[in-house]
Amino acid sequence: MTLTSPPRVATDGPRSNDDVRAADRAHVFHSWSAQGALSPFVIAGGLGSTVWDHDGREYLDFSSQLVNVNIGHQHPRVVEAITEQASLLTTVAPAHANATRNEAAKRITELAPEGFEKVFFTNGGADANENAIRMARQVTGRDKVVSLYRSYHGNTGAAVVATGDWRRIPNEYSRGHVHVFGPYLYRSEFWAQTPEEESARALRHLERTVQAEGPDSIAAILLETVPGTAGILMPPPGYLEGVRAIADRYGILLILDEVMAGFGRTGHWFALDAYDVVPDLITFAKGVNSGYVPVGGVIISDRVARFFDERVFPGGLTYSGHPLASASIVATIDAMRAEDVVGNAARIGSDHLGPALHTLAETHDVVGEVRGSGVFWAVELVADRDTREPLAAASMGAVKAALLENGVLPFVQDNRIHVVPPAVVTPDEVRRGVAALDAALSTLS
């Protein structure tokens, strides 16, 4: 696809993708990678569901970058709000009160379930989970956290324990994390045949683990409402409700991580809205402002908030409730409401993207399973439909290359294509993106 409008790149900036890649390789150290063989995809700019490079090529962003650009690239209201706030106040200490931060917290709590009135702001998703865990440890006086093998909750962990002053002490713990298998019927750990069986058996496995670990040692069960990076694993009927019941039975706090699944991704404001479950703490980041400024946080139930009325909360960050982040949150939520972005995500999922991906599954044997909702879909590719052997990495690489060749930037994870466009994606963009995927899968046969 070639750009028809004038290239929108910085006029005094680099001239080509090769220039950008060369400077990147000289100076930038990338996440989760051996650096030597990297050749990163270059992005110069974006608008809505489209990004472009320095060589005049456009791509449909079916990755939403790291599944965060829910409102699309360069939404004018959000960009304007950041610019306006920058001219007013660009930083403020976390201990001070600030009107923009108040507005951001108010907007978020208005969307949360009843009984959540306060927000603790962080710099991103990992430190949101760090601080939610710390709250649970303080409230329960226990230290272990149970989470799923198939999950991602972030990349921090050592900084507060490396700290020397008093802030280390309430956060030091010698026992830590216990993992269990969650429900995933397509690759069931429980020999289950139905979603109901998978749910019941995963719950029994969780409860037996809690009992074996010693319930009095467990502070929190931490789950992504819909595990994202692990494969967009939609919880089967009764699972989240059952986890809540187990947590209640043993005095354990339930933390739902909505960092990836929240703020419209599943076609609901929060993924948990689709289930009959209310956690004690909700963590968020990404879609809350589509990542225009780094931010995350913990939405705190009144019960947990009250606990800290008289006790010191041993956690904090210099940029907690940063004004640029706060302004972008206010504008994002207001624009998403005004433009019914969450409704669009739901309709795209039920009327366009979901049906189109299921049709792909009928035409390509390499598709093992399609699952998801809203603009949060996984297409799991297999070498053999009967054995469900995951498609080999080389073939996944070929699918990715074909998608890029056809002008679609995909999110590829293990043997899956995560089809995760911005929540503002249009039916026509979905049609084009799925057609590119169809063509890319055809190259395998």
Binding interface with ligand PLP (CB under 6 A)? 66, 124-126, 129, 152-155, 224, 228-229, 257, 259-260, 285, 296
Q: Which one, 287 or 349, has the nearer CB to ligand PLP?
A: 287
Chain center to CA of 10? 30
Least CB distance from residue 310 to ligand PLP, whole Å?
Answer: 30
Sign of torsion, CA 321 323 324 330?
Answer: positive
Q: Tell me how far CA of residue 242 lies from CA of 114, 153, 245, in angstroms.
A: 20, 21, 5
Tell me the longest C-alpha to C-alpha distance in the chain.
Answer: 65
Nearest distance in Å: CB 104, ligand PLP = 17
As measured in angstroms, the least distance from the Cβ of 227 to ligand PLP is 8
Query: Do 283 and 255 contact (CB within 8 A), yes or no?
Result: yes
Residue appearing with tokens 């991580």 = 257
| Tally of CB atoms within 10 A around 57 | 16
* AA letter at 142: R
Phi, psi of 312 (to 5 degrees): -70, 135
* Residue among 83 and 155 whose Cβ is closer to ligand PLP: 155
Smallest gap from Cβ 225 to ligand PLP, in A, equals 9
Cα 210 vs. chain centroid, distance in angstroms? Answer: 27
| CB of 231 or CB of 368, closer to ligand PLP | 231
Q: Report in angstroms how near the CB of residue 329 gets to ligand PLP at its nearest.
A: 14
Strands 58-61, 116-122: pairing kind: unpaired
Q: Between 101 and 153, name the residue whose CB sits nearer to ligand PLP.
A: 153
Judged by beta carbon, residue 31 or residue 387, the one nearer ligand PLP is 31
Residue 445 CB, nearest approach to ligand PLP (Å): 33
Between CA 59 and CA 406 the distance in angstroms is 8
CB nearer to ligand PLP: give 144 or 153: 153
Six-digit token string for 14: 């680099």
Distance (Å, whole) CA 198 – CA 230: 17
Residue closer to ligand PLP (CB basis): 225 or 406: 225
Output the smallest distance, CB 66 to ligand PLP, in A: 6
Can you give the three-state secondary structure of 144-208, one letter per residue? EEEEECCCCCCCCCCHHHHCCCCCCHHHCCCCCEEEECCCCHHHCCCCCCCHHHHHHHHHHHHHH
Q: Which residue is nearest to ligand PLP (CB)?
A: 125
Question: For ligand PLP, which is the closer residue by CB, 66 or 178?
Answer: 66
DSSP state of 351: I
Write down the least CB distance from residue 129 to ligand PLP, Å: 6
Provide the minimum distance between the beta carbon of 232 and ligand PLP in the complex, in angstroms, as a whole number. Answer: 11
Tokens linked to 75: 């939404």
The DSSP secondary structure of 69-106, one letter per residue, reads -TT-BT-HHHHHHHHHHHHH-S---TTS--HHHHHHHH
**CA-based radius of gyration for the chain:** 22
User: CB 70 → ligand PLP: shortest distance, Å?
Assistant: 13
Give the nearer residue to ligand PLP in terms of CB position, either 152 or 269.
152
Nearest 5°: CA angle at 248, between 219 and 223?
Answer: 60
200 vs 378 by CB, closer to ligand PLP: 378
